[in-house]
Amino acid sequence: MTAIEAAARAVRDTGGELRAGGTDVMTRATRPPVDLLGIPGLRGIAWRPDGSARIGALTTIADLLADDRLTAAYPALAATAAAIATPQIRNVATVGGNLLQRNRCWYLRTPGLTCHQTGGDTCPAREGAHLYSAVIDQGPCIAPHPSTLAAALLTYAATADVHGRSPLDIAELYGDGGDPTRDHRLEPAEILQAVLMPAPTPAERAAYRRATAREMADWPLAEAVARLTLDGDTITSAAVAVGGVARTPLLLPEVVEALLGEPATEETAAAAADLATARCDPLPQNAYKVALLRATLIDTLTACAAPPPSP
């Protein structure tokens, strides 16, 4: 039996929970942790013959940022990773842990309260405290997914290499948000081994922006990541994703459609952002997030279209 198979079996036998860096699990764990640290092949960055990259699930955010080849090849991923938490957290938190972490809803994390994710049959946030909840309604639960890296990986059409099953698109990892009982679609004993990146796109422009209540070390109220390629001033390809505003990280195909073939101007960005906010159906306490989403998208797209600084 391999080490990764032993970890999966330990979860099944004990009802435990997988632990990587532990920055989230150790703050809320009620089940025995099953460590992944030290399992061969789960950490590090490898380059394949076609120029694509394999990022091990136990690679820390700091290690990802320290790889100059990776950050040059995938600037949207690098910009997004650099905004996560604090240097101390980035030195411990892992890529896989960021993708598979639990949401931050008060009702999930307060002992004695029940919701869809703790065996209940309601989302108490809908009628209760929903100041930070989703404004794009995907289903019964309105807790936004907290993975910042997922938004960037969506724009690259990256895939998740999961032990014992075929690779999943990152979008498939989260589904459509309709299942209120879980934050991702992996079973408890299924182990994410790596993220598989496609070959880089030459001369792409990328940007990431977030709106937070504090300047640093805070969860985004709304975040956006964009990748563009331009022919002169005309946008020829685009990928745009958002987080903090929906049950899952989301690609915005309608925004992409509005960008293609248009000049890379703030007016184009504003018109595209308006299409994203048309999706929103906020609750009374979180309507402010719609304006934040629009402003964050405009800022991201405008920064993405700007010429790179001279060396």
The per-residue pLDDT for range 16-41, each reduced to its tens digit, is 999 999 888 888 767 899 999 889 99
Give the pLDDT score at 189.
Answer: 95
Asked if 94 contacts 20 with a C-beta cutoff of 8 angstroms, the reply is yes
At residue 127 the predicted structure's pLDDT band, cuts being 50, 70 and 90, is very high
Residue in 282, 219, 274 with CA at minimum distance from that of residue 252: 274
At residue 310 the predicted structure's pLDDT band, cuts being 50, 70 and 90, is low
pLDDT above 90: residue 300: yes
Average pLDDT over residues 132-157: 97
Give the pLDDT score at 296.
Answer: 98
pLDDT above 90: residue 207: yes
Count of CB atoms situated within 10 Å of the CB of 304 = 28
Angle, helices 75-82 vs 148-155, to 10°: value is 170
User: What does the block give as tokens for 176?
Assistant: 């459509």
Q: What single-letter DSSP state applies at residue 116?
A: G
What's the pLDDT tens digit per position in 50-61? 999 999 999 999
What's the pLDDT tens digit per position in 147-161? 999 999 999 999 999
Asked if 125 contacts 116 with a C-beta cutoff of 8 angstroms, the reply is no
Could you give the strand order of the β-sheet that contains 168-169, starting from the edge strand earlier in sequence? 45-47, 53-56, 192-197, 159-162, 168-169
3-state secondary structure of 17: strand
3-state secondary structure of 263: strand
Residue in 45, 53, 46 with CA at minimum distance from that of residue 201: 53
CA 144 – CA 221 distance, rounded (Å): 9
CA max distance for the chain? 59
CA 185 – CA 198 distance, rounded (Å): 22
What's the pLDDT tens digit per position in 221-278? 999 999 999 999 999 999 999 999 999 999 999 999 999 999 999 999 999 999 999 9
All domains in the chain, ordered by first residue: 3-135+146-197 (3.30.465.10), 205-305 (3.30.390.50)
Distances in Å between the alpha carbon of 95 and those of 13, 38, 122, 205, 229?
26, 15, 31, 23, 26
At residue 311 the predicted structure's pLDDT band, cuts being 50, 70 and 90, is low
Say what the pTM is. 0.95
Give the amino acid at 213.
A
Give the pLDDT score at 29.
Answer: 64
Average pLDDT over residues 185-204: 96
Residue in 178, 180, 177 with CA at minimum distance from that of residue 116: 180
At residue 1 the predicted structure's pLDDT band, cuts being 50, 70 and 90, is confident
| Letter string b/e over residues 231-244, b meaning 16 or more CB atoms within 10 A of that residue's CB | eeeebeebbbbbbb
Give the pLDDT score at 215.
Answer: 75
Task: Give me the residues paired with residue 161 across strands.
Answer: 194
The pLDDT mean for the chain works out to: 95
What's the pLDDT tens digit per position in 80-122? 999 999 999 999 999 999 999 999 999 999 988 999 999 999 9
DSSP string, 117-177: GGT-SS-HHHHS--TTS-SB--SS--PPP--HHHHHHHHTT-EEEETTS--EEHHHHHTTS
At residue 216 the predicted structure's pLDDT band, cuts being 50, 70 and 90, is confident
